[in-house]
Structure 1
Amino acid sequence: MPVTPSANKICKAIFRAPTLSPTATNSLIIDPAEQPIDCGDIEAIWASAEALHNSGMHPMVSMCLRYKGKTVLHRSIGQARGLNNETPVGAQLDTPVCLFSASKVVSAVLIHKLAEDGLLNLLNPVSYYIPAFAQNGKASISIYQLLAHRAGVPGVPPGTSPSILFDPQESLRLICEQPPLDNDGRVLAYHAITGGIIAAELVRVCTGLTMNEYLDRVIRKPMGFKSFTFGMPKSSRGSEAQNYISGLPSVSMLGRHLEKILGANVDSVVDISNTDEFLDAIIPAGNLYANADEACQFFQMLLQKGEWHGKQILSPLLVYRLTSEASRPQHDRSLGVPMRYSAGAMLGGRVFGLYGRNTPYAFGHLGFSNIFCWADPERDIAVSLLNNGKPVLGSHMFHLLGLTENIRKCFPQKSDMSGWSGSFGQHELSPS
């Protein structure tokens, strides 16, 4: 049921919502004759995105959607910066947004690329490359288990200052000293930040490069991206969307649970994300900046088994390893709900999943808060939904469900998926 304007006013009075100035929608003009899908369906999807913005929980919403390789929707609405009666800065199509945890797919691709190039083996222990990681029973934890959230070190010790994010070596030391939840990697527990810190060290040990330098080499420059960096370079500082606190105060059980996962309360995380220290840092699990089109292009490239504009960015075998189910859905000790992961991505569900109903082939990642980036081979779509409001609980939740449901209904499922799941034959597996 649609939310009426009066109901929206009530929602905004109950839930914290930044004060907005009137803003317009920026849209990529697409010739209706070039649309591979009914324009009415596209407008229905965008209406759901507009409702998400109008809820007041997300000052800016930027969305890009590709179908059969073609852009069918690319629009931004709202304010990127300058809220609460400050000078407003409207959201542009190319406004970079922090992807937060959706960054994990990108950092995982870099680890898979190390394996593809023979610089590491995913089945080797992490401690083979980082000897200090073997401390307190972690000697047999593999890189594959790390990517699949089974390394047993989902967070830093309680009471650790959030500023540890800005000291990679101290963060690494704390993680290496911790005993795991299970010595053999049998416990599933979402690693919000720690997995990325280990990944950055693996890249450094194997290549001598920082995560951004390796990202430039593997993804950013080959795909011609303008942003798509961990952190924001000073030369581009000020162009990114600023993050804003919204929704119910994080004093609920869910808020306390998120505080345990993130290592700080939600409001503090939002405040930290707008600091120069955060923008200067390389946080592979949580601070990749990209605009909606770049995020969508990245997932479209994965949907095309590593190919982009005639170039093989990644091998089909790498994409297969990245997106294949690591195990059946299992209770996640950190998130408190059943989750289905691959070695680097959050996967969709056979009945209901993160990307809507009946999305068993979908792969992608969510980011704090309500950032969605995914591809669904069964529907031949790649989607990015970015925002800068950070509610835990708020009036936006039904709109999110409506958005994913509209996408599911608009794009028919293929009856035969052998073209995706059964075509990683040897003749396709070597990069050109």
Structure 2
Amino acid sequence: MKFWSTNTSPIADDLVTDIGNESPIALTGMSEAQKQKIWSAIEQLYRTGNHPQISFCLRRQGQIVLNRSIGFATGNGPDDLAFSAKRLAKTTTPICLFSASKLVTAMLVHLLDQEGALNLLDPISHYIPEYAKHGKRHTTIFHLLSHRGGIPKVEGKIAPETLFDKAQILQLLYDAKPMSVSGSKLAYHAVTAGYILGEVMERVTQMPLTQLLHERISEPMGMRCFNYGLAPEFRDEVAKNYATGFFSRMGTDQYLRHVLGADLQTTVDLTNDARFMDTISPAANIYTSAEEMGRFFEMLLNGGQYQDRQIFSPETVFRATLPTSGYLMDRSLMIPMRYALGPMLGGDPVGIFGPMTGQAFGHIGFSNIMCWADPKRDISVSLLSTGKSIVGTHIPPLLNVLYQISTQCPSLERQRRRGVFASDQQQAEKI
């Protein structure tokens, strides 16, 4: 029996890069040398072999500094044969966001709260009476958004294919006994809260989440592919996910079973299944490009405004990104975390988005998918990768990527910020 495995992808001598639209460097407030240091760090991350494809988009002061993809969307994974058909990565290649989908779902909840269709302090049972079982009657939308809902996972052995059956998942969650009283303990809800929040939104809007996301965000922002699941017309373009890095039954796999309920290879296989692209998993299966995800964060950074469209009010963005607590031990992830109502938050002197990122908000995704905005630096960042390494040779280069972004994008004066952050600073200066 094989208890451990190490997987990496072959690396071509000449790195093949697809470059999308990038702004003149003079408009970004950065130098060409700063730009190249960040991109060199991305290339070093790719050269570890842990990620068959990396797509990266960085905006600063509203301008695209880098919009590039490197590697192969399919055909160059650790288990692919040398003569397998390879498809080059493009900046438009759809990649699954995994848990970074949670932030988009959370912002949809905030949008409906802004419109008065729901209230974050309402119990879930107000919208889904079936959810009131076993002491969950007082669990609120606020609790689920802040990972304090008491149902970080469903206890017992659950077949992986259950992921494709929404009705069955919801019934399991209705019948679930909370592991803690709502609001009392912080524990990352990897998949569970997404389904409940999604059901609340579908009941109050009387439309599927795919339609809601398309009408309220994707279409107004001119997104080509930014939705739950993947439409058939994009299936030939999608990037394949690969199990990479070092993983063991008693290490990585045990940790992933604790957080996700499945080992690394099972999780990766499920996400490459066409049925995963057919379903709606609010916490896990938005597909898009790095540029489009970066565009979404730039809109939030701009106080909810995209071009001439006000997608969210500045006040809604402000409330959504307020910390719900300081650093606390997350009982699922087993590390100290800071959360807002949906977003994960950075930290000082160091956080999940790099050094001195205390104002940054965003979300990570399984695995090495990192998307965030940092008002202090006026940047929005989207790093999407297809190698699902947890432990591997990629870790030092990944930390270097975060370091280079924080270092090469120095802080700006707050009054230069736009939207909600600028007005917030002006109010603070009056006090």
Q: TM-score range by the shorter chain?
A: over 0.9
**Residues 205, 358 of structure 1: alpha-carbon distance in 2 compared, 3 angstrom cutoff:** same
How far 1:145 sits from its partner (Å)? 0.8
1:157-210 C-alpha deviation (Å, 9 max, x unpaired) = 231011111111110111121121222321100000001101110111101111
Measure how far apart 1:133 and its partner are: 1.2
Q: Note the 1:210-221 alignment, pairs <5 A.
A: 210-221=208-219
Deviates more, 1:21-30 or 1:266-275: 21-30
- Secondary structure (helix, strand or coil) at the match of 1:15 reads strand
Q: Any conservation in 1 of the 2:253–2:263 contact (CA below 8 Å)?
A: yes
CA contact (8 A) 1:96 1:239 kept: yes
Which of the numbers 287, 290, 293 marks the counterpart of 2:291? 293
| Cα gap change, 1:276 to 1:184, in 2 (>3 Å) | closer
Matches within 5 A, 1:12-411: 15-19=6-10, 23-28=15-20, 29-83=22-76, 84=80, 85=82, 86-411=84-409
Counterparts of 1:134 and 1:421 in 2: how far apart (Å)? 38
Equivalent position amino acid for 1:378 in 2? K
Q: 1:218 and 1:347 mapped to 2: Cα distance?
A: 25
Aligned counterparts of 2:416 and 2:346: Cα–Cα separation in 1: 18
Mark the runs of 5 or more structure 2 residues left unpaired by the alignment.
Answer: none
CA pair 250-310 structure 1, distance change in 2 beyond 3 A: farther
| CA–CA separation in structure 2 for the residues paired with 1:197 and 1:160 | 16
User: In 1, Cα distance between the equivalents of 2:269 and 2:200?
Assistant: 29
Q: Distance in 1 between matches of 2:415 and 2:262?
A: 43
TM-score, normalisation: structure 2: 0.92
Is the 8 Å Cα contact of residues 52 and 386 (structure 2) preserved in structure 1?
Answer: yes
Distance 1:244 1:318 in 2: 37
Give the 4+ runs in structure 1 shifted more than 6 A: none
Name the CA distance, whole Å, in 2 between partners of 1:104 and 1:94: 21
Please give the alpha-carbon distance, in whole angstroms, between the structure 2 residues aligned to 1:172 and 1:258.
22
User: 1:409, 1:203 → 2: CA distance?
Assistant: 40
Counterparts of 2:414 and 2:232, CA distance in 1:
48
Contact 1:20 1:79 in 2 (8 A): no
Which amino acid is the alignment partner of residue 351 of structure 1? P
Return the alpha-carbon distance in structure 2 between the equivalents of residues 149 and 418 of structure 1.
Answer: 33
Contact between 1:75 and 1:93, CA under 8 Å: does it hold in 2?
yes
Query: Given the two structures, how large is their TM-score scaled by the length of structure 1?
Result: 0.92
Equivalent residue number for residue 9 of structure 1: none
Which secondary structure state, in structure 1, belongs to the residue aligned with residue 70 of structure 2? strand
Give the drift of 1:269.
Answer: 0.5
RMSD, aligned α-carbons:
1.9
Give the secondary-structure state (helix, strand or coil) at the position aligned to 1:49.
helix
Q: Is the 8 A contact 2:243 2:389 kept in 1?
A: yes
Counterpart of 1:296, as a letter, is G
